[in-house]
Amino acid sequence: MPIVAHTDLPTFQRLREEGEEIVDPDRASHQDIREMHIGLLNMMPDAALEATERQFFRLVGACNQIVQFHVHPFTIDGLTRSPKAQAHIDKYYEPFEKIKQEGLDALIISGANVTRQSLPEEAFWQPLTEVFSWARENVTSVLCSCLATHAIIQYRYGIARTRLPEKRWGVFAHKVMDRNHPLVAEINTRFDVPHSRFNEIFQSDMEKHGLKILAVSKEAGVHLAVSEDGFRIVFFQGHPEYDDISLLKEYKREVMRFYHAELADYPPFPEHYFNKTVRRIFIDYEQQVRTARQTGQQLGEFPEHLVLDYLDNTWRDTAKAVFNNWLGKIYQLTDQDRRKPFMDGVDPDNPLGLSL
């Protein structure tokens, strides 16, 4: 159902241009449809800030519940911002204090870049834990993406993530582990998810602390898990919100870092993402990059336009289905007053009535 453009956030207009259904506030006010209010704590770096808005907004808007979605982006202190990104935040994002006062039905927490060896050393750690502590008491369900998953698991369960020997990067096949759980109802038992990370929390560590594993890859590890109550916290280690070109953009960034001598080694291809044609194009371009770096000659344009038709999105439908299941269950558990995250008779420690 539609997202309501309740502010002048440019993402609303961008999504309209892409063909998404975005409703203006006046039209929304004349519809007798229930509202759901979803927070988006956007911690992504400047280059991905607005793309992250669009990616998560699309998944919310694809939900088929009879509801008007109001998405409320906000951020926290401790994240370095350029003047342009900070101006965007100051103009379009809501203060966390306002979020707390008005309440939310659900909360999405994005990933973030890190600069320290240990997450509790990051400048954003304390503000992030304050948001999570509030949400645990006041929001029906919190969905954590990638770095947010690692941070919240360490904060809540004391499990520190492990540095991988090399970057986990590409599109990986996953298998559903519990077909009866509402979050994975009626989705394919095998599905793809992009991953892009240097660290991992392993399945065995999650299970030791009672987390329920819902989707696992033999190559990439756990993608989807939930807290011990079955629903209050949803954990993504992958990036189902990614666009079909997101990994391409990351690859381009890494290639440019090599060209500017910020990396010693040329970046590998993301796994299971580029076909043979794309690989040949980028192998040829690698020779240009290496020559330009050695000789100081001007580097030719990154051949993005030559590969776009060869990139397939093999994860979006499943991502939409999981979000639909998530928001649909929240719709059932919440009432019209967003300050009351559970209806009468629902056990907040086991909201789905699962056998835990």
- List phi, psi (to 5°) of 65: -70, 150
Rounded Cα distance, 354 and 343, in Å: 17
Residue holding tokens 């999504």?
15
Q: Using DSSP bridges, classify how beta strands 106-109 and 141-145 pair: parallel, antiparallel or unpaired.
A: parallel
- Active-site position among 6, 88, 181, 239: 239
Q: Element (H or E) spanning 91, and its range?
A: helix 83-92
Burial string for 296-312 (b: 16+ CB within 10 Å, else e) reads eeebeebeeeebeeebe
Residue holding tokens 């008007």?
68
Q: Using DSSP bridges, classify how beta strands 22-23 and 3-4 pair: parallel, antiparallel or unpaired.
A: parallel
Tokens matching residue 14: 């961008």
Nearest to 245 by CA among 193, 305, 308, 320: 308
239 catalytic per annotation: yes
70 catalytic per annotation: no
Residue type, 242: Y
Q: Give whole-number Cα distances, 280 to 257, 265, 313, in Å.
A: 21, 19, 20
Rounded Cα distance, 70 and 350, in Å: 26
Tokens matching residue 167: 């970057």
Whether the CB-CB separation of 85 and 73 falls below 8 Å is answered with no
Rounded to the nearest 10°, the torsion over CA 226, 55, 92, 15 is -140
> CB-side exposure of 4: number of CA atoms within 13 Å?
20
Q: Is 19 left (phi over 0), alpha (psi -120 to 50) or beta?
A: left
- Active-site position among 50, 241, 250, 254: 241
Q: Give whole-number Cα distances, 109 to 32, 100, 312, in Å.
A: 30, 15, 26
- Active-site position among 6, 70, 146, 223: 146
Active site residues: 146, 239, 241
